[in-house]
Amino acid sequence: MTESPRHDGRTPDALREVRITRNWLDHAEGSVLVEFGRTRVLVAASVTVGVPRWRKDSGLGWVTAEYSMLPRATHTRGDRESVKGRIGGRTHEISRLIGRSLRAVIDYKALGENTIVLDCDVLQADGGTRTAAITGAYVALADAVAHLRRLGALKGEPLKDSVAAISVGFVGGRPLLDLDYEEDSGAGTDMNIVMTGSGTLIEVQGTAEGEPFTRAELNQLLDLGEAGCAELTRLQQEALAK
Amino acid sequence: MTESPRHDGRTPDALREVRITRNWLDHAEGSVLVEFGRTRVLVAASVTVGVPRWRKDSGLGWVTAEYSMLPRATHTRGDRESVKGRIGGRTHEISRLIGRSLRAVIDYKALGENTIVLDCDVLQADGGTRTAAITGAYVALADAVAHLRRLGALKGEPLKDSVAAISVGFVGGRPLLDLDYEEDSGAGTDMNIVMTGSGTLIEVQGTAEGEPFTRAELNQLLDLGEAGCAELTRLQQEALAK
Amino acid sequence: MTESPRHDGRTPDALREVRITRNWLDHAEGSVLVEFGRTRVLVAASVTVGVPRWRKDSGLGWVTAEYSMLPRATHTRGDRESVKGRIGGRTHEISRLIGRSLRAVIDYKALGENTIVLDCDVLQADGGTRTAAITGAYVALADAVAHLRRLGALKGEPLKDSVAAISVGFVGGRPLLDLDYEEDSGAGTDMNIVMTGSGTLIEVQGTAEGEPFTRAELNQLLDLGEAGCAELTRLQQEALAK
Amino acid sequence: MTESPRHDGRTPDALREVRITRNWLDHAEGSVLVEFGRTRVLVAASVTVGVPRWRKDSGLGWVTAEYSMLPRATHTRGDRESVKGRIGGRTHEISRLIGRSLRAVIDYKALGENTIVLDCDVLQADGGTRTAAITGAYVALADAVAHLRRLGALKGEPLKDSVAAISVGFVGGRPLLDLDYEEDSGAGTDMNIVMTGSGTLIEVQGTAEGEPFTRAELNQLLDLGEAGCAELTRLQQEALAK
Amino acid sequence: MTESPRHDGRTPDALREVRITRNWLDHAEGSVLVEFGRTRVLVAASVTVGVPRWRKDSGLGWVTAEYSMLPRATHTRGDRESVKGRIGGRTHEISRLIGRSLRAVIDYKALGENTIVLDCDVLQADGGTRTAAITGAYVALADAVAHLRRLGALKGEPLKDSVAAISVGFVGGRPLLDLDYEEDSGAGTDMNIVMTGSGTLIEVQGTAEGEPFTRAELNQLLDLGEAGCAELTRLQQEALAK
Amino acid sequence: MTESPRHDGRTPDALREVRITRNWLDHAEGSVLVEFGRTRVLVAASVTVGVPRWRKDSGLGWVTAEYSMLPRATHTRGDRESVKGRIGGRTHEISRLIGRSLRAVIDYKALGENTIVLDCDVLQADGGTRTAAITGAYVALADAVAHLRRLGALKGEPLKDSVAAISVGFVGGRPLLDLDYEEDSGAGTDMNIVMTGSGTLIEVQGTAEGEPFTRAELNQLLDLGEAGCAELTRLQQEALAK
């Protein structure tokens, strides 16, 4: 592991500057503008009474998510999925990941037959949009749950834990935390880690973009990611305490 | 016509507070966060060398626009058009209006074979999203043109004039400028006016939502709208001067 | 303003020959073949008991319209929207305009919970298809209402007024009534005016295709259009009297 | 075979009144309004220089067809396929049948690298729309070929023969020619026959809607259909001679 | 008619080797892998209690079919219809033919309000996929009916007869039974014949791909096809007897 | 960890019976029917000369995959994605995973400008379809590469290693290898592991379906999965040696 700083001056185990701005929208029951450096995701939590048809009369609530990117979030403009008439595989995959991650800390029974939809729209992308989205979505979800609590619409405490997520990867043979776009493009192995606030794992997705990786390398990345998620958990608590 | 103030305290001929924030995005060649009160539209101008196939080798440039609304821009969440797999009629209609309005002040020859796409994404909607989008898009367009000028990619000055737009309407029998969502919902006649900075008309779209209207009423609305557009033109110049 | 006749011999304020043929179809509750010169639109009014779900149990009726063009209505064949799998923005926009225009003269309460759909299919296009469609659709609508009246299915008189529409525009600097395709292609400003039989305005849509226009020019066009709509109203009454 | 007349007074072997009106449209290179009783199909033949990509530089022409039905062609309104966003199986099947039938009499080499598209739009449906479409399409095709001949764009005579089509079926145990909607709904076996003007078969499609049929019954239907096609051939020649 | 054997050594009136393997799948209520030489179709019959909405409370059952081809069933890979986002005309047409053919032998009343869907997926195509599908689907249908009988869910015997299908055609002027892909590509006239086990006709679809055909030629093909269907009926009975 | 056998009698660390049948199809350049117990996936490898447009003239080849499931692969019939008109998120995600896994062992330069598409169609699903697909796809890929080698179309050896994949998970608190459908439905944590034949990791995807998991539990699953992949590698080599 070399000692040179990263292209933006960070140490290998440093997060980018993370900003979590609550109540960025006026209408949504919970809303967060979450920024990991130049990556900027707007998360809106929408509460509706009732659940999808397949879950009716179960007494259980539901939480789901949709991820999307504005056409000029990226360096060059991408076509809108609404114009193309179909949602791409990457969008589907990330929407599913975000929903799954949040559902892992939800007590459906305590939520009662209410549905919370988390819309995660990437306004600007500079790497790590899915992990920023999950991290911000938890805060918007917590606000939406608080809204339901104020209405007396809950059967208990639906949040069993908090959730945060971060990306890690090997770049130039060195394990780095919270890759930006430039680093991500050059990463050999790329991993996204989703963890609870109490330190257990919800999702581990590691992919060899270049060379396959060893168990030892996997463990290096997991160590980095655990520390990153712990720091994000602290920042979430701070934001929610305001 | 009564003398009571509007529900938000404005006089009948007053705009909401208008904020035009340039360079809100890092990647786009021009970008503006434009706010008319609680209505908030993010406009990104994307420049590409070349023009659509049907315009190739004409020596002429092209300008077009796409309008869209985030699902939770509104009071209750709407379905994403990408999920529905088709773009609604309203979206199409507004995208066409914005593109047409901006093209009215463009000298295609001076632009050369370059294309500028204006993405207008409504982050929060409180009435007047299309007029805010046009007003903001002109500023983003001017920045994108400046970008092309710096690159030496222009054949002359492509901007023949500036463009601004405002809504006017009769609410409770009284002509009002710049309707917010609440006022718009109760409007009998609703009109959108697009004007150049030099005071000529680009587009007039008046619709009787309730009772049909007379020529005299049409003229009242046009008077109000002209004054509103003149004020917006001043604010655009101010923003561009920064 | 020059005094030379138009390319088809008309004076600037003359309509093309307008023919309104009722009952052109055997199955529809109202049907009209409306011709403005070579523009030929087939309008079918379909009555169904009941209203869309979002309007159920309101006691109110509903009127809507769909506009479409046969592939070879135009000089060169266009692709079918059914084949392309999506409806174009222009089609959506015109369908919405027609529906809105007819709804402006409908008393929903008197209509009762019945729905009338106006299908406007352009068999041949030579400019002014949307205004011909609106003008013909009113006649088909009146026949469909008469059908409901004969069935005893109405709660009162649903038609508060009649509706007619015409295009006007500046061609070569001269204001002209009822533009055909050739004139429309060369028009600097193009306006569609929808009026009631009693002379009030339902919709005014003016667009600068070339140079922006002044208030004085707008007024010239409105004067021409008012006279045209009055003449169309007379022709509608004549057709309905047969 | 019983001796009572059919519900509209026809004998079992009688066609409905057939009308073939050429040049019903002004823009199309060939156009026909074909009527079999109350069934009314508008056929437009569009000529374009060149052929689809997969046939380029082969020296051969191409002929294809598209069939569609206006929403209120039928007794109750059907949804538009453009609105549904997909073309139904029946539409596809009939479009393919029409194209195949016409191609059977085309000499592609003599046609040269030209394409003729036959748009068959059913304005009113009362049974037998596909056979009326084929019968009319041949006449529109002949006019389009004549258009190409006048332009000197042919390599020879592309029409090797003429084409006509008719439906036959067993209704109440009795073989009938040219079924209308009411008869078709009650038919046990339904057959569409496409023949050349010289009396050979291009397509035979027989379907047992109720009871399966025997070879003897098949032959009865073929006899009826042959006579019907011969009569239609005569009417086509008469129309083309005008 | 020449006496040389066919390219695979068959006599003109010989079927390819036909194999019918029942219960190829574990979950489906009936399933068959049917092979006509190298053509290989997997048919799954799925039983559900209840019928489509438009048939509810009629006391009648429903049978339908869907046909599809794996992308590499053919010599060169075809695009998936799910990827293209639309089902092709040929797929629709064959699905409709299979469903119609099976419904011809069904007594809906005896079936009761149950639905059987026949999925016919072509794993490998070498000509005659639709006739193999129909022939195999009958066997899967019989197994699904037996399944319903064991459950006591029938109101009587829903199978009035059996169904088999075969292709015939003129290749090099010679009438041949059961064309493989190579023969089919060179066929002048191509016919698909669907028959009941008792020897009556359900569907006859003859198409002149090259020269139109005469009644005498039609009869030659029908003779060949009748014999082929009789042989397939015997093989179906054999398979069901196991 | 309890000592009772699994519901099908396996020990916790046992694979189901794995069968790899090469050359199951006649047309494809490589084809495999791979079975993990009752899970049955047909993989076809299609070779085409040339690469997608975005990769042209790079000298590099391309490998991609498409995954799909027959409607009755599962216990209850699912709707076809071609009928729904859109590909589901799960299908996209698995297709991307398979493609990525195979590309990890490909030397694009040695492959030359050739494309290999792996179609993985699930004929019957009983858990582990994606891991069976990857395991079988490697074998089909190897056969397709051999085909290219025979043609002299390679620039070197494109296969840097082999690939196999297996699922592991905690069921009833016990770590199990190669979950079938019943086990998968009850799994608390579910993980898919993709490894090279030489024992390095290509992809690790672990998801907490129920309770979040610890690093220690993650390691237990990785240990099980590594052993399973090693055994699958052996079976692949055995199959390829035939």
Q: What is the pLDDT of residues C16-34, one digit of tens each?
A: 999 999 999 999 999 999 9
Q: Which residues from B are below 8 Å from A44, CB to CB?
A: 70-72, 77
Asked whether residue B129 is marked as a ligand-binding residue, the answer is yes
How many CB atoms are located within 10 Å of the residue B85 CB?
Answer: 19
Cβ proximity of E169 and E127 under 8 Å: no
Question: Is the residue at D153 inside a domain?
Answer: yes
Q: Which residues from E are below 8 Å from F70, CB to CB?
A: 42, 44, 119, 121
Which of A80, A83, A117 lies nearest to residue B77, judging by beta carbons?
A117
Q: Which residues from D are below 8 Å from C123, CB to CB?
A: 25, 42, 123
Q: What percent of chain C has pLDDT over 70?
A: 99
Question: Is the residue at D159 inside a domain?
Answer: yes
Residue A1's pLDDT is what?
44
Mean pLDDT of F104-125: 97
Is residue C179 over pLDDT 90? yes
Cβ–Cβ below 8 Å for C119 and D72? yes
Is residue C147 over pLDDT 90? yes
Is residue D1 over pLDDT 70? no
Question: Is the residue at E181 inside a domain?
Answer: yes
Asked whether residue D10 is marked as a ligand-binding residue, the answer is no
Is residue C1 over pLDDT 50? no
Residues of A with CB under 8 A from a CB of B: 25-28, 31, 38, 42, 44, 46, 48, 66, 68, 70-77, 80-83, 85-87, 91, 117, 119, 121, 123-124, 126
Cβ–Cβ below 8 Å for D100 and E203? no
Residues 6+ apart with CB under 8 A from B216: none
Q: What percent of chain A has pLDDT over 70?
A: 99
Q: What percent of chain E has pLDDT over 90?
A: 91
Closest CA to E33 of E159, E122, E102: E122
Chains that touch C (3 or more CB pairs under 8 A): B, D
**pLDDT lower than 50: segments of chain A:** 1
ipTM of the complex: 0.94
Bigger pLDDT: E2 vs D55: D55
Is residue E234 over pLDDT 90? yes
Residue C3's pLDDT is what?
64
How many CB atoms are located within 10 Å of the residue F74 CB?
Answer: 17
Cβ proximity of B115 and B45 under 8 Å: no
Residue F1's pLDDT is what?
44
Concatenated DSSP letters for chain D?
---SPPTTS--TTPPPPEEEEE--SSSSSEEEEEEETTEEEEEEEEEEES--GGGTTSS--EEEEEEEE-TTSSSSPPPPHHHHTS--HHHHHHHHHHHHHHHTTB-HHHH-SEEEEEEEEEEE-SS-HHHHHHHHHHHHHHHHHHHHHHTT--SS--BSS-EEEEEEEEETTEEEES--HHHHHTEEEEEEEEEETTS-EEEEEEEESSS-B-HHHHHHHHHHHHHHHHHHHHHHHHHHH-
Mean pLDDT of E208-234: 95
Residue F188's pLDDT is what?
87
What's the pTM? 0.91
Question: Is the residue at A1 inside a domain?
Answer: no
Question: Is the residue at C3 inside a domain?
Answer: no
Question: Is the residue at A153 inside a domain?
Answer: yes
Residue A3's pLDDT is what?
64
Is residue E36 over pLDDT 90? yes
Residues of D with CB under 8 A from a CB of C: 25-28, 31, 38, 42, 44, 46, 48, 66, 68, 70-77, 80-83, 85-87, 91, 117, 119, 121, 123-124, 126
Cα E50 to chain centroid distance, Å, stands at: 25
Cβ–Cβ below 8 Å for E203 and D202? no
Count how many domains chain E has.
Answer: 1
Task: Please give chain B's pLDDT, 242 residues, in tens.
Answer: 456 889 999 999 999 999 999 999 999 999 999 999 999 999 999 999 999 999 999 999 999 999 999 999 999 999 999 888 888 889 999 999 999 999 999 999 999 999 999 999 999 999 999 999 999 999 999 999 999 999 999 999 999 999 999 999 999 999 999 999 999 998 889 999 999 999 999 999 999 987 899 999 999 999 999 999 999 999 999 999 98
Question: Is the residue at C1 inside a domain?
Answer: no
Question: What CATH number does the domain containing E198 carry?
Answer: 3.30.230.70
Residue B1's pLDDT is what?
44
What is the nearest CA distance from B193 to chain C, expressed in angstroms?
10
Structural domain that includes position E120:
18-241
Model pLDDT for residues F9-26, shown as the tens digit of each residue:
999 999 999 999 999 999
Joined tokens for residue C109: 């309460």
Mean pLDDT of F32-46: 98
Q: What percent of chain D has pLDDT over 90?
A: 91
Question: Is the residue at E8 inside a domain?
Answer: no
